[in-house]
Structure 1
Amino acid sequence: MKVVVVNESKHAIPKKFIEQWTESVTAELRKRKVINAEKAKRELTLVFLDKKPAQKINKEFRGKDYATDVLSFDSMDPSSLGELVMCPEVLKKQAKEHSLTFQKELGYMLLHGILHLLGYDHETSEADAKEMFKIQDTIFEKLTK
């Protein structure tokens, strides 16, 4: 999966980590037949925003008036998997709460966003949430050993 990183935040973004992590996640998703070869070749756009613009987008698209960690947007372009909008400030706060490094939290939420773009949704039902988090947690644990 080709990753395009757009950093509109004031925070440094570890692009090399993102590229390597996404490659590893894609390989694991392929092994588990969660993503096919065609989708694995698509482009993923990551946009990093500071809190205020992230909050504005969350309110506009989800009706929730706060900055969130990751938002996923499908694409009409057949060469694109979609776009993830992430907020480094929220990720840093969550990393601290979860006793993780910023990179591990970023990786976890990147995986989470990719699963959303592949059609998984933890907000639809308990069964859907269980399925999504099982895939997410299994891959995350394998890649962070």
Structure 2
Amino acid sequence: MQVLIVNESKHAVPRKFIARWMQDLERELKKRRVLKASHAQKELTLVFLDKGPAKKINYEFRGKDYATDVLSFDSMEPTSFGELVMCPEVLKKQAREHGLSFQHELGYMLLHGVLHLLGYDHETNEKDAKEMLDLQDAVFERLLKNLSA
């Protein structure tokens, strides 16, 4: 999967971490037969925004009046896997709350967003939520082990 990073926030984005994480994520999701080879040939756009613009987009598309960690947008372009819009300020706050590093929180939310783009949803019902979050947690643990190896 080709990853295009667009940083419109005032925060630095750990590009090397993202590249390695996304490579490992792609490999793990293929191994679990969650990601098809055809998806892996596509481009994923990551957009990083400050709180104000992130809040505006969240309100515009979801009717929620706050900046959120990640928003997933499907694409109509045949060469695009989709777009993830992320807010580093929210991710940093959540990292502190979860006792994670910023990079690990970022990785967790990249995984979360990719699963949404693959059709997983945790907001429809409890069964779907459990399926998505169980997969997300299992993959996250595996990727953390890869980072420390």
Q: Work out whether the TM-score is over 0.5.
A: yes
CA offset at residue 4 of structure 1? 0.1
The aligned counterpart of 2:30 is 30
Q: Give, in whole Å, the separation in 2 of the partners of 1:2 and 1:17.
A: 14
Q: Give, in whole Å, the separation in 2 of the partners of 1:136 and 1:42.
A: 21
CA root-mean-square deviation: 0.5
Q: Give, in whole Å, the separation in 2 of the partners of 1:58 and 1:143.
A: 28
Query: 1:60-82 deviations in whole A, cap 9, x for unaligned?
Result: 00000000000000000111110
Q: Give, in whole Å, the separation in 2 of the partners of 1:57 and 1:15.
A: 23
**Residue 117 of structure 1 pairs with residue 114 of structure 2:** no
After TM superposition, which residue ranges in structure 1, 4 or more long, deviate above 3 angstroms?
Answer: none
Structure 1 gaps of 5+ residues are: none
The aligned counterpart of 2:14 is 14
| 2:124 alignment partner AA | T
SS of the aligned residue for 1:144 comes to helix
The aligned counterpart of 1:54 is 54
CA offset at residue 41 of structure 1? 1.5
The aligned counterpart of 1:104 is 104
SS of the aligned residue for 2:3 comes to strand
Q: Give, in whole Å, the separation in 2 of the partners of 1:94 and 1:119.
A: 24
Q: Give, in whole Å, the separation in 2 of the partners of 1:52 and 1:139.
A: 31
CA offset at residue 40 of structure 1? 1.3
CA offset at residue 38 of structure 1? 0.6
Q: Give, in whole Å, the separation in 1 of the partners of 2:15 and 2:114.
A: 17
* Sequence identity percentage: 72
The aligned counterpart of 1:78 is 78
Q: Give, in whole Å, the separation in 1 of the partners of 2:128 and 2:27.
A: 22
Structure 2 gaps of 5+ residues are: none
Query: 1:84-120 deviations in whole A, cap 9, x for unaligned?
Result: 0000000000000000000000000000000000000
| 1:132 alignment partner AA | M
